[in-house]
């Protein structure tokens, strides 16, 4: 379900304004490859794609062909797919995505951001759209 929010309550400096969020299920296969030694902990700011077959979210993967090649939203808070136990098997977890809003300097502040993700967001390909406020 999507919810409308008028301003950001995020502690993350890259998030300027939330217009629309979506509660989602993060697939147990999602990883944050840049989170060395803790790839099961998905950090806020990670660009996410939607797996076509299941409708669950996983990390954005531009070379994929399962739906995650289209940027859908940006993770708003950290998600641990092992629920605090690094030795556990990863499981699906709830998450919250920014699917419409404004971010500051996404290329330097959002994880897995690239020109294809920017194009997906600006044209609303995966989501209603994310406006990127570039630094002056």
**Position 130 pLDDT exceeds 90:** no
**3-state SS, residue 108:** helix
Rounded-to-integer distance, Cα 12 and Cα 102, Å: 12
Which region among 33-42, 58-67, 74-83, 105-114 has the lowest average model confidence (pLDDT)? 105-114
**Position 88 pLDDT exceeds 80:** yes
Mean pLDDT of 40-69: 96
**3-state SS, residue 115:** helix
Rounded-to-integer distance, Cα 10 and Cα 84, Å: 22
* CB contact at 8 A, 80 and 90: no
**Position 101 pLDDT exceeds 90:** no
CATH number of the domain located at residue range(s) 2-133 in this protein: 2.40.300.10
The pLDDT mean for the chain works out to 83
**Position 58 pLDDT exceeds 70:** yes
* All structural domains of the chain with their residue ranges: 2-133
pLDDT of 122 reads 74
Rounded-to-integer distance, Cα 119 and Cα 124, Å: 8
* % pLDDT > 90, the chain: 56
- For the chain, the straight-line distance linking the first and the last C-alpha, in angstroms and rounded, comes to 35
By 3-state DSSP, what share of the chain in percent is helix, strand and coil, each rounded to 5?
10, 35, 55
Mean pLDDT of 95-114: 86
Give the model's confidence band at 12: pLDDT under 50 very low, under 70 low, under 90 confident, else very high: low
Q: Which residue has the higher pLDDT, 136 or 122?
A: 122
Which region among 3-12, 35-44, 65-74, 97-106 has the lowest average model confidence (pLDDT)? 3-12
Mean pLDDT of 36-58: 95
């Amino acid at each position: 379900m999507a919810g409308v929010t008028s301003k950001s309550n995020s502690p993350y400096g890259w998030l300027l304004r939330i217009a629309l969020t979506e509660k989602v299920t993060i697939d147990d296969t999602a990883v944050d490859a840049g989170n060395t030694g803790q790839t099961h902990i998905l950090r806020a700011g990670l660009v996410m794609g939607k797996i076509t077959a299941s409708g669950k979210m996983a990390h954005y993967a531009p070379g994929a062909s399962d739906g995650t090649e289209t940027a859908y939203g940006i993770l708003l808070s950290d998600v641990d797919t092992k629920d605090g136990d690094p030795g556990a098997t990863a499981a699906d977890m709830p998450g919250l995505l920014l699917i419409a809003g404004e971010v500051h300097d996404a290329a330097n502040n959002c994880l897995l951001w690239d020109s294809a993700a920017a194009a997906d967001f600006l044209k609303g390909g995966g989501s209603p759209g994310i406006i990127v406020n570039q630094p002056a």
